């Protein structure tokens, strides 16, 4: 699933290509992708002739602020990614289930193998209220250690699971939770309540370091994520543990282990992430 760095990459790419464009029409062969309004024809009618005034990210959500106080929200979920113009041919770029037609004659398309993506049209004010339910933004200027400590202090559950809880911190998913905990040398099974201040600090620092590195590299394309040009992101050479089961830990040489936490594959080094 595209996580914060991938969504951030998409948003930055979109800002250079579709800002100030107007939606002329929209097509789909999978009406369930449009969740709000539920009736696709109604969605189509409301979206037509709205101009894109601002594009930003909150957690894993892409938000297009439109004219007349509307906002379009796209959550790419498991395998969705947006493509624009003449995108690069690639197997994962061929599952086009939604097309936005723009006033410059170009198409903004959603490729989504699993068809779990979510597209919603909101009144901007209502959407902003809804987004307040999300947790801290880990790349925001005000993401301070004290704030991070405060939101974690009464959280039950294993640290990896809590890092992936969008109501606690927004934007971290399975790939980066594994990478962050490896970087911080913390065992993914450790209960949040058992983390010392020093350990919390290490996790906090690793969050900033890993996410910034991944944003700079334009995201991870080990799965279906592609940039709007259809090209892959460049994080792969920096990936240390995720989907590296049986390979050597780049820090200590022990074999990377895979295990499951809450049904999700978790990768870690049993030697340097002992506690």
The DSSP secondary-structure symbol of 267 reads E
| DSSP result, 15-70 | HHHTTT-BEEEEEES-GGGEEESSSHHHHHHHHTT-BEEEEEEETTEEEEEEGGGE
Q: Report the residue number, 70 or 182, with the smaller CB distance to Zn ion.
A: 182
Q: How far is the CB of 181 from Zn ion (least distance, A)?
A: 12
The string of DSSP letters for 72-114 reads EEEE-TTTEEEEESSPPP-GGG--EEEEEEETTS-EEEEEESS
Q: CA 88, CA 78: separation in Å to the nearest integer?
A: 21
Residue 240 CB, nearest approach to Zn ion (Å): 9
Residue 264 appears among annotated catalytic residues: yes
Is 3 one of the annotated active-site residues of the chain? yes
- For the question of residue 60 being annotated catalytic, the response is yes
Annotated catalytic residue within 50, 57, 58, 60: 60
Cβ–Cβ < 8 Å for 85, 19? no
Closest approach, Cβ 273 to Zn ion, in A, equals 7
Q: Please work out the total of residues on this chain that contact Zn ion, with binding judged by CB under 5 A.
A: 7
Chain positions 150 to 209 lying near Zn ion, rule: CB under 5 A, are none
Active-site residue 183, yes or no? no
* Min dist. Cβ of residue 186 to Zn ion (A): 12
**Site for Zn ion, residues 212 to 271, rule: CB under 5 A:** 249, 251-252, 254, 269, 271
Question: Which residue out of 2, 5, 138, 188 is catalytically annotated?
Answer: 2
Taking CB under 5 A as the rule, does residue 33 contact Zn ion?
no
| CA 275 and chain centroid, separation | 28
Q: Report the alpha-carbon distance of residue 87 to residue 17 in Å, rounded.
A: 13
Of the pair 58, 244, the CB lying nearest Zn ion is at 244
Closer Cβ to Zn ion, 102 or 269, answer by number: 269
**Cis status of the peptide bond prior to 37, with omega within 30 of 0:** yes
- Active-site residue, from 31, 51, 118, 264: 264
Task: Residue 139: name the closest of 64, 216, 72, 74 by CA.
Answer: 216
Nearer residue to Zn ion within complex by CB, 87 or 267: 267
**CA-CA distances (angstroms) from residue 191 to 12, 150, 160, 195, 208?**
36, 16, 9, 7, 21
Residue 270 CB, shortest distance to Zn ion, in Å, is 8
Placement of tokens 């490896």 in the chain = 182
Task: Select 136 or 269, whichever has its Cβ closest to Zn ion.
Answer: 269
| 94 exposure class (CB count in 10 Å sphere: 0-12, 13-18, 19+) | exposed
CB of 271 to Zn ion, least distance (A): 5
Task: Give the nearer residue to Zn ion in terms of CB position, either 78 or 254.
Answer: 254
Active site (catalytic) residues: 2-3, 60, 264
Applying CB under 5 A, the residues found at the interface with Zn ion are 249, 251-252, 254, 269, 271-272
């Amino acid at each position: 699933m595209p996580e914060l760095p991938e969504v951030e990459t998409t948003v930055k790419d979109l800002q250079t290509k579709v800002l100030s464009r107007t939606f002329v029409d929209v097509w789909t062969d999978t009406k369930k992708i449009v969740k709000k309004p539920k009736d696709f024809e109604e969605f189509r009618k409301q979206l037509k002739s709205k101009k894109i005034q601002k594009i930003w990210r909150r957690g894993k959500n892409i938000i297009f602020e439109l004219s007349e106080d509307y906002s379009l929200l796209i959550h790419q979920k498991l395998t969705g990614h947006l493509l624009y113009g003449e995108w690069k041919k690639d197997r994962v770029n061929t599952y086009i289930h939604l097309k936005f037609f723009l006033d410059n004659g170009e198409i903004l398309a959603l490729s989504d193998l699993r068809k779990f993506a979510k597209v919603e049209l909101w009144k901007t004010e209502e959407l902003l209220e809804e987004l307040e339910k999300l947790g801290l933004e880990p790349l925001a200027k005000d993401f301070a250690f004290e704030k991070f400590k405060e939101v974690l202090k009464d959280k039950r559950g294993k640290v990896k699971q809590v890092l992936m809880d969008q109501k606690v911190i927004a934007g971290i998913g399975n790939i980066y939770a594994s990478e962050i905990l490896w970087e911080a040398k913390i065992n993914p099974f450790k209960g949040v309540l058992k983390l010392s201040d020093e350990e919390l600090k290490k996790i906090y620092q690793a969050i900033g370091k890993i996410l910034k590195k991944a944003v700079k590299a334009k995201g991870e394309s080990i799965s279906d994520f592609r940039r709007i040009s259809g090209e892959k992101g460049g994080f792969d050479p920096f990936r240390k543990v995720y989907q590296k089961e049986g390979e050597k830990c780049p820090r200590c040489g022990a074999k990377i282990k895979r295990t499951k936490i809450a049904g999700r594959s978790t990768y870690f080094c049993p030697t340097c992430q002992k506690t």
